Chain A
C-alpha cells in the first residue's frame, strides 16, 4: 500500500512498460490474461511470505501480539520501530479495526499506510494525527475521510508524503488544510473530482513539493497556475484529467526542474507544448491522446535528456517527423495509432539507444523496417496491425537483443518467420495471425528462451504442437486456432513452467484434455472455453491449487459444479466463467 508515495527518493524516471500502454484487451480473447498483470504480482508476494525459513523471534512476537490485540490498551511505551512493525502487520493481515486502532494513539509512528484499507474514516484521523511530528508518510487512499478529518493533519507538520487518491469526500475545503504542510515533497490526489482551481490555491505554499499527482481530477482546469512558484517540482501527473488546455500549460513554463510530465488525454496542442521549451531536465514526456502534431517536436527538439516519449494516439502524420532525429538519447518511444508511414521511420534511424519502439497500427510497411536494422539496443518492438510482411522481417534479423516482438495481425508468413530464428534473446513472441501454420512454428524451434508465446489465431494443428516441446521455459501460451485436439494437448502437458494457458476455441477438446493438463500445477489462469469439456471432467483440475482464473464458457459445464470444485479444491480461484 502507498506505492505511489514511497519515501525512497532519487528514483530514476519510471519508464512505463510500453506493452501496457498499447492496446490491451482489444480482442476479446482470454480476458483473464489482462487483469492477471496486477493480481498475479500480489499473489507472488503472498507466496513468498508463506514460505521462508525459520521465523524470527521478532516475527513470532508480532504475530502473537496480533492474535491478542484486544488485550492491549496502548503501545505508546514501545520504541516506535516496534509499534510500527505491529501496526504494519495488523494492516497487512487486515486485522486493524476501529476497536484495535486506539492502541496506537501517540505511538510516534512514521508511516501510516492504510490506502484502500476497509473502514478508514474520520474517526481514524484522531489516532493518525496523534503521531504528531513523527508522522512522515500517510496514505488514506480510497477512504471515507472528509474535509474535517483532514483538518487534524495540522498536528503533523513534518509530513513528507501524503496520498489521498480516490477520496471522494475531500473537497476544496479539505485542501486548505494541506497548505500548512510545508514539508510535503510528494502529494497525490488521483481521481478527486471535487477538487477545482479554487481549492488548488492551497498548493501555492507547498514550496518543497517534488512530486504532484492529480491524475483523473476532471475539475482542475485553471488551477495549475497555483503551481507557478513550486520551483522544486520534478514530477507532475495530470494524466486523463480531460480538462487541461494550453492555457493551463503557460503558468508551468518556469518550472525548469521538471523531469517527468504526464499530460496525456487532455486538450493540449502544439502551442501548449511550446511552454515546455525551458524544461531542460525533461526525461519523460507523455502526450498520449493529445491533439498535437509532429510540429510540437520543435519545442522539445534537441532535448538530450529525454529518455521516454509517448505520442500514442496523437494523430501524427509524417509532417515534421524529421525532428525525431535530434532526440538521440531516447530509450522508449511510443508512436502507436498514428498516421505515420515509412517516411517517418527514416528519421528514427539514428536513435540507436532506443530500447522500446511501438508502431502499433501505424501505416508502416516492409520498406520502413530497413531503418530499424541499426537499432541494436531494441528489446521491445510492437508492429501489430501494420503492413509489415516477410520481406520487412529480414531487416530485423540482426536485432540480437530483442526480447519481445509483437507481429499480430501483420502480413508475416511462415516463410518470413524464418528471419526470427536467430533472435535467441526473444522471450516474448506474438504471432497471432491467421496465415501462420505449423511450418512457421517449425522454423522457430531455436528460440528456446521463449517464455510467452501467443499463437491465438494461428492455424496450428496437433502436428505443430510437437514443436512446442522445444519451448521448455514457456510461462504463457495461447493457441486458439481451432485445430487442436486432445492429441495435441499431450505435447502441451510437458510444459511445466506454464502459468497461463489459453486453448479455447478448440472445439475438439474433451475431458481427456483436463486429465492431461492436471500435472501443470503452476497454472494460474486456464481457458478452455468453446470445447467439449463437461462437468464429469472437472475433478481432474483439483491438483491445480494455484489456479486463480478458470474459463469454461460454452462448454457442457455448469456454474454449480465449478463452484463445488472451487470450494472443495481450488481456494485461490477468484475469477470463474461461467459464473
Chain B
C-alpha cells in the first residue's frame, strides 16, 4: 500500500463504511489530481521492481498535487 491514509481508511476498526464496502471517496481532490496520484501509485510499483524512470509532473499541477500527497501521506 503506497498511501498510509488510504490504508487507515480501509483497515481501521469500528465499522466505518469505507472498511465495510472496501471503497473510499475523495470529494475534495479534483479528478486530474486523483488521476495523477493513481499514475504515481503505478509508477512507484514499477520503481520498486527496478524500473527506475522519471515521474513527470506538470508544473501547473505541482502545488495541488503536493497538497493531496500531503493529505494521503504518500
Instruction: Report A-chain residues with C-beta under 8 Å of the C-beta of B47.
Output: 54
Q: How far is the CA of A56 from the CA of B65 in the complex (A)?
A: 12
In the complex, the chain A residue whose C-beta lies closest to that of B57 is A64
Is B69 within 8 A of A61, CB to CB?
yes
CB–CB A56/B74 < 8 A: yes
Check: A68 CB closer than 8 A to any chain B CB: yes
Contacting pair A57 B48 (CB below 8 A) = no
A78-116 vs B: 1/0 string, CB under 8 Å? 110110000000000000000000000000000000000
Q: B-facing mask of A53-78, CB < 8 A → 1, else 0?
A: 11011101110110010010000001
Given A64-B59, A64-B62, the answer on whether A81 and B70 have CB atoms closer than 8 Å is: yes
Alpha-carbon gap, A61 to B65, bound state (A):
7
Decide: A61 and B48 in contact? CB cutoff 8 A: no
Which residues, 44 to 74 on B, are CB-close (under 8 Å) to A? 44, 47-48, 55, 57, 59, 62-63, 65-67, 69-70, 72, 74
- Chain B nearest CB, measured from A104 CB (Å): 14
Task: List A contacts of B37 (CB < 8 A).
Answer: 57
Interface size bracket, B side:
10 to 19
Whether B69 lies near A65 (C-beta < 8 A) is no
Contacts A64-B62, A68-B59, A71-B59; A57 near B74 (Cβ below 8 A): yes
| Contact between B63 and A78, CB atoms less than 8 A apart | yes
In this complex, what residue of A is CB-closest to B58? A64
Q: Are B62 and A57 in contact (CB under 8 A)?
A: no
**Nearest CB of B to A75, in Å:** 8
B57→A58 contact, CB < 8 A: no
Cβ–Cβ < 8 Å partners of B44 in chain A: 54, 57
Residue of B nearest to A65 (CB): B62
* Count of chain A to chain B residue pairs whose CB atoms are closer than 8 Å in the complex: 45
Q: How many residues on A have C-beta within 8 angstroms of the other chain's C-beta atoms?
A: 16
Knowing A54-B48, A81-B70 are in contact, say whether A61-B59 is a contact too (CB < 8 A). Answer: no
CA distance A53 to B48 in the complex (A): 7
- Determine if B69 and A57 form an interchain contact, defined as CB atoms under 8 angstroms apart: yes
Q: Are B59 and A62 within 8 A (Cβ)?
A: no
Residues of B within 8 A of A65 (CB): 62-63, 66
Cα separation A64 to B64 with both chains bound (whole Å): 12
Least CB distance from B66 to A in Å reads: 4
Please indicate the chain A residues that have their CB under 8 angstroms from the CB of B59 in the complex.
64, 68, 71
Q: Which residues of B contact A56 (CB under 8 A)?
A: 69, 74
CA distance A58 to B37 in the complex (A): 11
Given A53-B48, A64-B57: A58 touches B66 (CB 8 Å cut-off): yes
Q: How many whole Å from A263's CB to the nearest CB in chain B?
A: 47
Within 8 A of B (CB), among A25-59: 53-54, 56-58
Closest Cβ of chain B to A70, distance in Å, is 11
Shortest Cβ distance from A71 into B: residue: B59
B66: chain A residues within 8 A (beta carbon): 58, 61-62, 65, 78, 82
Q: Which of A61, A71, A78 has the most CB of B within 10 A?
A: A61
Residues on the B chain within 8 Å of A57, using CB: 37, 40, 44, 65, 69, 72, 74
Q: List residues of chain A with CB within 8 A of the CB of B63.
A: 61, 65, 78
Which B residues are in CB contact (< 8 Å) with A68? 59, 62
Minimum CB–CB distance for B14 against chain A, Å:
28
In angstroms, Cα B55 to Cα A250, docked, is 64
Q: Quick one: which of A54, A58, A60 contacts B70, CB cutoff 8 A?
A: A58
- Bound form: Cα–Cα A82–B63 in Å: 9
B62 near A58 (CB under 8 angstroms)?
no
Chain A residues with CB under 8 A of B69: 56-58, 61
Q: Please, what's the 1-or-0 string for A268-300, where 1 marks a CB less than 8 Å from any CB in chain B?
A: 000000000000000000000000000000000
Q: In whole angstroms, how far apart are the Cα atoms of A53 and B69 in the complex?
A: 17
Decide: A58 and B48 in contact? CB cutoff 8 A: no
A502 to B3: give the CA distance in the assembly, Å.
49
Alpha-carbon gap, A68 to B60, bound state (A): 10
- CA A562 – CA B72 in complex, angstroms? 50
Residues of B within 8 A of A60 (CB): 40, 55, 57
Contact between B55 and A58, CB atoms less than 8 A apart? no
9 additional A-B residue pairs with CB within 8 Å, beyond A58-B66, A62-B66: A54-B44, A54-B47, A57-B37, A57-B44, A57-B65, A58-B70, A61-B66, A61-B69, A71-B59
For this complex, 30 residue pairs linking A to B, each with C-beta atoms less than 8 Å apart, are: A54-B47, A56-B69, A56-B74, A57-B40, A57-B44, A57-B69, A57-B72, A57-B74, A58-B69, A58-B70, A60-B40, A60-B55, A61-B65, A61-B66, A62-B66, A64-B57, A64-B59, A64-B62, A65-B62, A65-B63, A65-B66, A68-B62, A78-B63, A78-B66, A78-B67, A79-B67, A79-B70, A81-B70, A82-B66, A82-B67
B positions within 8 Å CB-CB of A:
37, 40, 44, 47-48, 55, 57, 59, 62-63, 65-67, 69-70, 72, 74
